Structure 1
Amino acid sequence: MSNAHAQTESVGEVVGCDKMSVTGEDEALPVEGSVKICCCKSSNEHSAEGSIEEMFLDSKGREIAELEQPEILSMLPNFEGKRVLELGAGIGRHTKNIAERASHVTAVDFMENFIQKNKEANGKHPHVEFLCADVTHLERQPASYDIIFSNWLLMYLGDDEVQKLLNKMLMWLVDDGQLFFHESCFGQSGDKSRTSNPTFYRSPMVYGALLDAAHNVTPDGSISSFELMWGRSLQAYIQLKSNPNQLCWLYKKVTKPGVANGHPGEHPSFQQFLDKQQYSLNGILRYERIFGKEFISTGGLQTTKEFVPSLNLKVGEKVIDVGCGIGGSAFYMAENFGVQVLGVDLSANMISIAQERTLQYQQLFDKVQFEICDVTVREFLPETFDVVYTRDTLLHIADKPTLFKKFLSWLKPGGRLLITDYCCGTDPWTPDFAEYVKHRGYHLLDVRSYGKIIEEAGFTKVVAEDKTSMFVSVLTEELTKFRKEKDSFIKEFTAEDYDAIVSGWAAKLERCQVGQQKWGLFLATKS
């Protein structure tokens, strides 16, 4: 194999290599002022011309590209002056824009014709490295990149290959470095016929599990892992193809002190805490059985129908559903009031289920979108939404005053706020109640104090109503109905799951009866 890393005399010189081109001792850090181009001998039925249509495997490839490219670029973290590794770089649609601002770009693709097209278009940049390579054998120096941008790559790798690559990505990224990736989920998106399809159409939940499992042990024994920042569908495909299956995620590398067995897990993020405990897949699905189809909040559809009319929703208005769960309220508002709903939730498991359920509502593809994110750090432009709607979610958030100020900023003048949430009574907490709150990671206020914080954030016409009697009535009704479905539930889940639901509902009723737990409804307006 020729030396793929020798500095070249002129931009665009091609250095030959085989398919396993960038491995082992030959690896070097990117060298500014040089371009290293390695092209493997590969062939593919869809890469003969290196065209947009071939890349997208779709007859509308050019139309999609025109909308998709600016959308993806707007999602990328700031790459000004950064070192970027672009995996699945293709013919260079994104390489050009990244190269104009990044200090270095390594553009990698397995298809020889694609990487040649990329080189022809972007070889003028002396700080771009072009590699035709098999990423499963790719090696880079530790901490050599600030951002990794992976486009339609992981879906062509098996789970073990993805896991190994993610572990290596953690090594290649600097601390707080970011991974952005885009994949096809659930099923095929392109309409071009193909004699074979090697794609793994995973659900977002599977990608979440693979990212959660990724780790790298540093020389000092610390553990590096990925922390989710957000995940969402691409609008270009929804607009042109009524297809919500194209998803993007942004993760950040975090490094924490190691644990005794040398593996991560002792210091989970709050998102991982939710997905592994209260909102595990099994936990969500069994909750749905008592709350009702597509709901993970008190009263399900019944309370949604009761509360939503107070918002006076109008066709075309924009609603953000904070803590949207698996989508019930979002689907209901969009279908019955013609509003646009963005559902956000910190639980990747919740959003994965919501995105999959969206496939059953094709008439709502252009009205309902879901995003995994931490609402306490997510930013939207001022006056983006007409309504902020959130049901039994903010109990997880300690700094409610700051969050309510963000809500106020996001709302248009005249915008409305609706919150239901777990609250507490005004009497001192019993040890049992304190332990329950601590175990769940809740931050509870009494109803009056809760309303006062909303008012202090700048909202007007604030209504803070104690709805505990309604809460007790709904819980009792849910529990009575659920007990009648014991046999069918146990066939689908387990007797232990059944007992957990029954004892959980009974405990909530008891806490309400002694005045420890309350349920509040809060309405407010932005002047």
Structure 2
Amino acid sequence: MTDPHVIAFYDRHPISADQILAKVGGAPSGAADLWPHDQDHYGGLEANAALAQRAAIGPGTRVLDLCAGLCGPARHNAATLGCSVVALELNAQRASGARRLNALVGFDRRIAVVQGDATRPPFGDGAFDVVWSQEAFLHIADKTGLLAGARRVLKPGGRLAFTDWTAGPALTDADRRLMDEGIAAKAIHSPAEYEGLLTGAGFAEIRREDLSAAWRSILQARLEMYRHLRDEAQRATGADPHADYVRFYERFVALVAGGALGGARFVAVA
């Protein structure tokens, strides 16, 4: 079921197609011009490369990017690895923004953007070699439906590769409410809970890597970026549209620094 809070969160997200194009002067000459600005996940291009290597993505690999957003990773993977990508995105504005960016850099025929629900992927059984996602599954309460759908559309031996925020022992119910209010985090699981969910969905050979330490510094840098975007907006309009977002991120940083939240990379075989 579509959650209006998740939709609204991405409708007002400070990273948008317009914001990316403003950073490149409005006329990108190719996909690489967008890469410094369109990677809306932790770790940028290095994180893409690490996840792609573990998922064994290469020329001809059929990839389903779940919760693909503005397609930054999809464009990078298609350009550098030669894979084909279908990008499934729930939010209409972000799906439209992804298509716009793809067309501007000549990727509209290389990446198919589909608006839809990740818990009910509208594709045939065994259609993909890899299902991929980065820091998006926390927005989805129905992990059973999400992982069952991912398992169904993967061919036998296909790989589910994703990164996500995970719960530490110190994460309280109040912290979970804060995360939901701040970034529409509908369900944050401990690493062990995630592994149990993956096993229950029929996945095997589950590998997990702890990314918490690396994400702490990245999150702090992202906070500074959002503060800069807030300041830019204030200078341009006199308004402060990102004030609540910045206040939330300050608390977010504190939770990660205190170990209540962590990050992990998962790869599992269908």
Question: Which residue number corresponds to residue 143 of structure 2?
Answer: 400
Question: Which residue number corresponds to residue 375 of structure 1?
Answer: 118
Instruction: Measure the CA separation in 2 of the matches of 1:286 and 1:490.
Output: 20
Residue from 388, 396, 403 that aligns with 2:131: 388
Q: Is the 8 A contact 2:171 2:261 kept in 1?
A: no
Question: Which residue number corresponds to residue 30 of structure 2?
Answer: none
Displacement of 1:329 in angstroms is 0.7
Residue from 16, 19, 29 that aligns with 1:285: 16
**2:183 equivalent to 1:452:** no
Letter paired with 1:417: L
Q: Is the 8 A contact 2:16 2:70 kept in 1?
A: no
Considering only CA atoms, is the larger Rg found in Structure 1 or Structure 2? 1
Q: Is the 8 A contact 2:60 2:84 kept in 1?
A: yes
Alignment map for 1:113-512 (pairs within 5 Å): 270=2, 272-275=4-7, 277-281=8-12, 283-285=14-16, 293-362=37-106, 364-427=107-170, 429-431=172-174, 433-439=175-181, 440-480=184-224, 488=232, 490-492=234-236, 496-512=240-256
Displacement of 1:430 in angstroms is 5.0
Question: Which residue number corresponds to residue 266 of structure 2?
Answer: 522
Q: For residues 403 and 490 of structure 1, do their structure 2 counterparts lie closer, same or farther at Cα, with a shift above 3 Å needed?
A: same
Question: Which residue number corresponds to residue 181 of structure 1?
Answer: none
1:348-403 CA deviation, whole Å, 9 max, x = no partner? 111011011111221x3332010110121233211100100011111122221332
Letter paired with 2:178: Y
Instruction: Measure the CA separation in 2 of the matches of 1:284 and 1:482.
Output: 9
Q: For residues 493 and 519 of structure 1, do their structure 2 counterparts lie closer, same or farther at Cα, with a shift above 3 Å needed?
A: farther
1:9-57 CA deviation, whole Å, 9 max, x = no partner? xxxxxxxxxxxxxxxxxxxxxxxxxxxxxxxxxxxxxxxxxxxxxxxxx
Q: CA RMSD in A?
A: 2.8
Displacement of 1:310 in angstroms is 2.0
SS in 2 for 1:462: strand
- What are the ranges of 5 or more consecutive residues in structure 1 without an aligned counterpart? 1-268
TM-score calculated relative to the size of structure 2: 0.82
SS in 2 for 1:303: helix
1:204-236 CA deviation, whole Å, 9 max, x = no partner? xxxxxxxxxxxxxxxxxxxxxxxxxxxxxxxxx
Percent identity over the alignment?
23
Letter paired with 1:311: A
Q: For residues 376 and 483 of structure 1, do their structure 2 counterparts lie closer, same or farther at Cα, with a shift above 3 Å needed?
A: closer
Q: Is the 8 A contact 2:207 2:268 kept in 1?
A: yes
Q: For residues 497 and 302 of structure 1, do their structure 2 counterparts lie closer, same or farther at Cα, with a shift above 3 Å needed?
A: farther
Letter paired with 1:400: K
Give the count of matched residue pairs: 255
Q: Is the 8 A contact 1:468 1:520 kept in 2?
A: yes
Displacement of 1:427 in angstroms is 3.6
Q: Is the 8 A contact 1:437 1:443 kept in 2?
A: no
Q: Is the 8 A contact 1:448 1:464 kept in 2?
A: no
Displacement of 1:344 in angstroms is 0.7
Instruction: Measure the CA separation in 2 of the matches of 1:502 and 1:286.
Output: 20
SS in 2 for 1:422: strand
Q: Is the 8 A contact 2:17 2:101 kept in 1?
A: no
SS in 2 for 1:458: coil
Q: For residues 423 and 415 of structure 1, do their structure 2 counterparts lie closer, same or farther at Cα, with a shift above 3 Å needed?
A: same
Letter paired with 2:132: Y
Instruction: Measure the CA separation in 2 of the matches of 1:436 and 1:287.
Output: 28
Structure with greater contact order relative to length (CA < 8 Å, sep ≥ 6): 2
Q: Is the 8 A contact 1:271 1:348 kept in 2?
A: no
- Pick the structure with more helix per residue: 2
1:273-322 CA deviation, whole Å, 9 max, x = no partner? 333x3111564439967995223322333422332222221212110000
TM-score calculated relative to the size of structure 1: 0.44
Q: Is the 8 A contact 1:346 1:375 kept in 2?
A: yes
Letter paired with 2:177: E
Question: Which residue number corresponds to residue 107 of structure 1?
Answer: none
**Stretch deviating more after TM superposition (317-326 or 419-428):** 419-428
Instruction: Measure the CA separation in 2 of the matches of 1:420 and 1:288.
Output: 25
Instruction: Measure the CA separation in 1 of the matches of 2:98 and 2:214.
Output: 27
Q: Is the 8 A contact 2:208 2:265 kept in 1?
A: yes
SS in 2 for 1:497: coil
Instruction: Measure the CA separation in 2 of the matches of 1:494 and 1:455.
Output: 51
Displacement of 1:416 in angstroms is 1.2
1:462-501 CA deviation, whole Å, 9 max, x = no partner? 0122211111021123334565677545445666235444
